[in-house]
Amino acid sequence: MEDADGSFRMASRKFRREDTVVEIAASYGAAIGGGGFFVIAGPCSVETEAQICAIAREIKALGAQALRGGAFKPRSSPYSFQGLGADGLTMLLKARAASGLPVVSEIMEASQLPLFAEVDVIQVGARNMQNFELLRELGKSGKPVLLKRGLSSTIREWLMSAEHIMAGGNPNVILCERGIRTFETATRSTLDLSAIPVVKELSHLPILADPSHATGCARYVESMALAAAAAGADGLLIEVHNDPGAALCDGPQSITPAGFGRLRAKAEALRAALRDS
């Protein structure tokens, strides 16, 4: 449904004044939005059962609230590792059982939805933000959807994609700013920090920041994560790998569990300082 001015409606602050809080699998008692700070961490891709279970336990001990791991990977090159598919999802669910963390994984097409029945949060990647057929099916599913911003999409287009999911009957949308394409090439993308306050003004939906894909470089992840926390993000999505040099996907931007522990502690300290100021 659209407003008379051709804008989003259900995703709009005008439609709902209070912040939306998205419950992640009630049995975990986890929720995104509403003043908390929700941190999702894990490798770009599920590689082996041992790898994903080990990372899951480590990040849980360091304060992560959910585990990410891609099984279906949208790779720019057809010759790169494409993910383990359904086997990867099975391993991710084993890591959930081993760690107690809810899991997040990316879907690439609507026909894969039955495979995601047990997955707690379904991620729609930047390259699929305007896959309207997929958004329509996710609208019917009722599951929490983590909707990444498209590589070259405006905030308004992004919110319209959220609207597609919501108009289908699913209010459980979490936005994720993951950087946009600009003329700058020193970083993989440009993290649009101002999107955070803009989205907060235009919409009631929670918004996370992903400094891993935005910068493409592990050395810049912590500072941009803290900047996003200061800008008012409801949480973070961070790529963490036990051995970034050997990662099958996105190793250069992956931080280690130790680095994640430092980032998590600093983000908490920053939020506490901002609360007390």
Q: Which is nearer to ligand PEP, 188 or 204 (CB)?
A: 188
Q: Which is nearer to ligand PEP, 102 or 125 (CB)?
A: 125
HEC string for 61-84? HCCCCEEECECCCCCCCCCCCCCC
We find the least distance from the C-beta atom of residue 51 to ligand PEP, in angstroms, to be 15
We find the least distance from the C-beta atom of residue 275 to ligand PEP, in angstroms, to be 29
Q: Which is nearer to ligand PEP, 105 or 141 (CB)?
A: 105
Site string for Mn ion, 210-249 (x = CB under 5 A): ----------------------------------------
Q: By CB neighbour count within 10 A (0-12 exposed, 13-18 middle, 19+ buried), where does 1 fall?
A: exposed
Q: 3-class SS at 9?
A: coil
Binding residues (CB under 6 A) for ligand PEP: these are 44, 70, 74, 125-127, 148, 178, 213
Secondary structure percentages of the chain, helix, strand, coil, to 5: 40, 20, 40
Site for Mn ion in 32-91 (CB under 5 A): 44
Q: Which is nearer to Mn ion, 164 or 188 (CB)?
A: 188
Angle at 187 between CA 181 and CA 192, to 5 degrees: 50
Calpha distance 222→200 (Å, rounded): 23
Residue nearest to Mn ion (CB): 44
We find the least distance from the C-beta atom of residue 213 to Mn ion, in angstroms, to be 6
Calpha distance 225→71 (Å, rounded): 25
Total residues at the site for Mn ion (CB under 5 A)?
2
Q: Which is nearer to Mn ion, 166 or 248 (CB)?
A: 248
We find the least distance from the C-beta atom of residue 117 to Mn ion, in angstroms, to be 23
The reply to whether 250 sits near Mn ion by the rule CB under 5 A is yes
Calpha distance 246→17 (Å, rounded): 46
We find the least distance from the C-beta atom of residue 193 to ligand PEP, in angstroms, to be 16
HEC string for 132-171? HHHHHHHHHHCCCEEEECCCCCCHHHHHHHHHHHHHCCCC
Question: How many CA atoms, within 13 angstroms, populate the side-chain half-sphere of residue 119?
Answer: 28
Q: Which is nearer to ligand PEP, 149 or 200 (CB)?
A: 149
Phi, psi of 94 (to 5 degrees): -65, -40
We find the least distance from the C-beta atom of residue 17 to ligand PEP, in angstroms, to be 30
Q: Which residue has the tokens 């090159």?
A: 77
Calpha distance 3→228 (Å, rounded): 30
Q: Which is nearer to ligand PEP, 56 or 126 (CB)?
A: 126
We find the least distance from the C-beta atom of residue 81 to ligand PEP, in angstroms, to be 12
Phi, psi of 235 (to 5 degrees): 160, -170
Q: Residue 102's binding partner, choosing from ligand PEP, Mn ion, none, with beta-carbon cut-off 5 to 8 A by kind? A: none
Q: Residue 125's binding partner, choosing from ligand PEP, Mn ion, none, with beta-carbon cut-off 5 to 8 A by kind? A: ligand PEP
Residue ranges binding Mn ion (CB under 5 A) = 44, 250
